[in-house]
Amino acid sequence: MSGPIPVGLLPEHATVGESGELRIGGCDVAELAEAYGTPLFIYDEQGLRNRCREATAVFGERATYAAKAFLCRAMVRLVMEEGMSIDVASGGELGIALAAGAPPERIHLHGNNKSSRELAAAMDAGVGRIIVDSLEEIDRIERLVAQRHRAPRVLLRLTPGVKAETHEFVATGHDDSKFGFTVSTGAAATAVERADASAAMDLVGLHVHIGSQVFDADSFAKALAVMAEVIEPWDLPELVLGGGLGVPYVTGETAPTITEWAEALEQTALDLGITAKLGVEPGRAIAARAAVTVYRVGTIKRLPDIRTYVAVDGGMSDNPRPVLYGSGYEAFLPRAVQAARPQMVRIVGKHCESGDILVREAAVPGDLAVGDLLATAVTGAYGHSMGSNYNKIARPPVVFCAEGDARLVVRRETLDDLLAADVG
C-alpha cells in the first residue's frame, strides 16, 4: 500500500483544509477547478518567488531564469521583480519577454540555429548577451553589424565532453551533441579566436550546459574542470554554467537545493582557480515544484488481471514529458490529500494515441470515482510550455495563487484561438 503523496512533492505553500482538501497559496483547489475548469495549472506564486530569491542570493542578476521551463508575461514580470535575468531561446520567447517589460540588458538569447531575423531583433533591442552556438552564427552577426545593427556582447557555448547521467534527449554536454563548439576537437579554441578577433561582437565569456534533470553534482564539477582549462588562456570575465539541476518528481527521489548546488559550484570554481564570475540558468528548479495540474476523471476501465485505466480530460497535450522521456509523476485526489493510495492504475489522457499516458503506474485512493478531481504534482516546468493542440485540444489556463488570492495569468484557449491562424 502506498501512503499519501509526500509533502515535499506538493507546492511549498500547499496546505490541507479541515476536510482534507488541498489548498495552494490559501486557495481551495476544488473551487479553482469549478471556476476555471479542467485541466488547470495552479501555481504557488510565493513558491516561485522564493526559488528566485534563493538563486539571486548567491548569483544576483547572474542568476538567469530559463524561460523554456514556463513562460508567460506574468512569469517574466515575477522573475524580473525578484532580480533575476531571463534567457530565451527563440524570437517568440524574446517577444514575450520584451512585451512583459523585461529590460533588454537582462535578456540572454540562446539557440543552436538562430535565424538572421531573430539575431537582428535581439541586437536591435539591445539584449544583454547572445550565446553564440556556431561559426555560421558568427557570420550572421558580422553581416548584421555591417548592415548597421547594434554589435552584441556574446558568450560562446562550448561542449565540454561531459556525459550527464540523465535521459539522452536532455543530455547536451557530451561530444555527440547538436549544441555548441566541441572542446575535444579544437572547435572551441577556433571559435574563441574568431570571436575575440571580430569587431562585430564583444566576447565577454563562455557558456556550458551539460543537460537537464541532473542530480549528480559531480557532473557539474567535471564540466567546470574542462572549462577551467579552456578559459584560462583567454582571461574572459564570465563563465555561465547553464541550468539542469534536477528536482524530485516521485517518492524517494532527492536533489540538491539551489543553494547547495550554487555553493558546490562556487567551491569547485575556487578550487580550480577560476576567477571568472559564475552565472547559472535554473528553470526547472525554479518552476517545477510550484505547480500542480488538476484534471477531471471521465472514465474508469477495469480489466481483471491486467490493469485499470483512469482517463482524464487532458493528457499529452498539456504534459508530453511522460511520452517523450518516460518521466514519472505522482497522482492524488485534491479532496483527500492525506489519504492512503492502495490502488494501482494507469492514468491516461483523451488523445487518440495508445501512448497518451500521464502516469504509467499511479497509486491512488481506493475510492477514486468518475467525476473526481485528480491531480499530478511537480508540473510547473515543461508542461504548459511544451503543450500542444494535438487533436485540436485547447491549451489549459494558468492560475497564480498567493495569500488566498487567485489570478488568471493565461486564459484557456477557445475554438476561435484554434481557428485564428487557419486562413484556408
CB–CB of 65/283 below 8 Å? yes
Amino acid at 238: E
Tell me the C-alpha distance between 75 and 69, whole Å. 11
Residue 227 in 3-state DSSP? helix
Q: Is the dihedral of CA 40, 13, 285, 68 positive or negative?
A: positive
Tally the C-alpha atoms within 13 A of residue 246's C-alpha that lie toward its C-beta: 22
Residue with cell 494515441: 353
Closest CA to 108 of 209, 214, 245, 221: 209
Is 401 among the catalytic positions?
Answer: no
Q: Phi and psi dihedrals of 314, rounded to 5? A: -130, -140
Tell me the C-alpha distance between 205 and 257, whole Å. 26
How does strand 129-132 pair with strand 107-109?
A: parallel
Amino acid at 176: D
Amino acid at 58: V
CB–CB of 276/236 below 8 Å? yes
Nine-digit cell at 219?
557532473
Element housing 303 (H / E): strand 291-303
What is the distance of C-alpha 38 from the center of its chain? 22
Closest CA to 315 of 299, 335, 338: 299
**CA distances to 26, 44, 125 from 14, in Å:** 8, 8, 39
> Which of the following is catalytic: 27, 52, 72, 352?
352
Task: Enumerate the active-site residues.
Answer: 352
